[in-house]
Amino acid sequence: MGQMENTSTSLVLMLVGSALMLWFHPIQAQNGLFHDYYAKSCPKVEAIIQSVVAKAVKKEARIAASLLRLHFHDCFVKGCDASLLLDDTSNFTGEKTANPNRNSARGFNVVDNIKSAVEKACPGVVSCADILAVAARDSVLISGGPSWVVPLGRRDSRGASIQGANNNIPQPNSTHQTLETKFKLKGLNVVDLVVLSAGHTIGLSRCTSFKQRLYNLTGNGKPDPTVDQGYLKQLRTLCPQTGTDDNQTTPLDPVSPTKFDTNYFKNLEVGRGLLITDEILYTTKGSETAALVKFYARHSQAFFQQFAKSIIKMGNITPLIKPRGEIRKNCRKMN
Ligand code: HEM
């Protein structure tokens, strides 16, 4: 009897002990990031970021999309280390002039505003890379999408890679195989590719990113046969073949451009995906991506859950962890 009491007492103690451990060390990721990283050093950081993002989105709804994209373009080059945020100088070339970013990546001023607000509360503590990850989460939530707990503790790079930005981030006319490969190289699978591509449920694209498919997809003078005829006409009016400004913009999701929802997938089913790389996820015959598009078009909750999982996975791509990297004072410059 005494023996049994002892056993159950130690069992209870063990359980209480592990509960306490969980309490003090919740969700410790294997790569060194964890969600309460700033609990002591900057307890209000997430509230501060959220409030600056909310203000910016109120002023211009598109900022939500721009901030989400910055996190993606950061993570695909040298990991999520804010390398994208560094400005060029006379003796330093950053990533802002790389093909996927030039005249296109935006929202850097909002990141500056977030950083100033955070520095005021806790100087020298919160990395720019973590700011991008939290701002992306807040942007999705504000746009009506899911929320998730962001693992934190990334540090900022002391360098950038224009070659990495040009090579690792897929182009809007990449093939299905190239998309799969570029995601795979970052540890992301076909499910991640499909749900993360649905980041295009918000935001805008310039004509230059999709004009090829309106007039001359493969060099035979014919448009992409997978584009819906009405949509093709509309896009051709916005982006005439010659003589005008290819910087005109149009929504990536024409049905609900500022709402994070499943219309991205529904558009693909009716030939209204804007980029070649959007539409081919659906039109590539017999592909797993096509089946996934059909599934997520009808299962909003499954999409939200998977998006949260996949973006956490993306946010975990080779982070810089202490003692490597630094906490930049100004996101545009190394200290
Ligand atoms: C799968 C490969 C992808 C390709 C080829 C691609 C390409 C593009 C292109 C060409 C644009 C328009 C740029 C312009 O014309 O200025 C764009 C915009 C955007 N992309 Fe992607 N993208 C991809 C994946 C993603 C992912 C994974 C996310 C985030 C999870 C994302 C989020 C966005 C957002 C939100 C915008 C709109 C930005 C704004 O309005 O400022 N994209 N993308």
Confidence of residue 245 (pLDDT cuts 50, 70, 90): confident
pLDDT digits (tens, 9 = 90+) for 153-200: 999 999 999 999 999 999 999 999 999 999 999 999 999 999 999 999
Flag whether pLDDT at 25 surpasses 50: no
- pLDDT value of position 31: 83
Decide: 68 in ligand 1 pocket, CB within 6 A. yes
Residue 34 main-chain phi, psi, to 5 deg: -150, 155
Mean pLDDT of the chain: 92
Domain 170-314 CATH assignment equals 3.60.21.10: no
Tell me if 158 CB under 6 Å of ligand 1: no
The pLDDT of 315-320, averaged and rounded, is: 96
Q: Which residues contact 107 (CB under 8 A, 6 or more apart)?
A: 63, 66, 67, 69, 70
pLDDT of 303: 98
Residue 8 predicted with pLDDT over 70 = no
* 37 Cβ neighbours under 8 A, 6+ residues apart: 130, 151, 152, 153
Please write the tens of the pLDDT for every residue from 274-313.
Answer: 999 999 999 999 999 999 999 999 999 999 999 999 999 9
For 267, the token pair is 């558009």
- Is the confidence at residue 4, as pLDDT, over 60? no
Helix pair 45-59, 108-121: axis angle to 10 deg: 150
What three-state secondary structure class fits 89? strand
Q: Which of 136, 156, 108 is nearest to 50 (CA)?
A: 136
Paired tokens of 276: 């070649």
Residue identifier of the C-alpha nearest atom 29 of ligand 1: 199
Cβ contact 28:21 at 8 Å: no
> How far, in Å, CA of 44 to CA of 211, rounded?
45
The beta strand positions in 138-216, using DSSP E, are 204-206
Question: Does residue 200 have an active-site annotation?
Answer: no
Tell me the domain boundaries of the chain: 45-167, 170-314
Query: Residue 23: pLDDT above 80?
Result: no
CATH code assigned to 45-167: 1.10.520.10
157 Cα–ligand 1 center, Å = 23
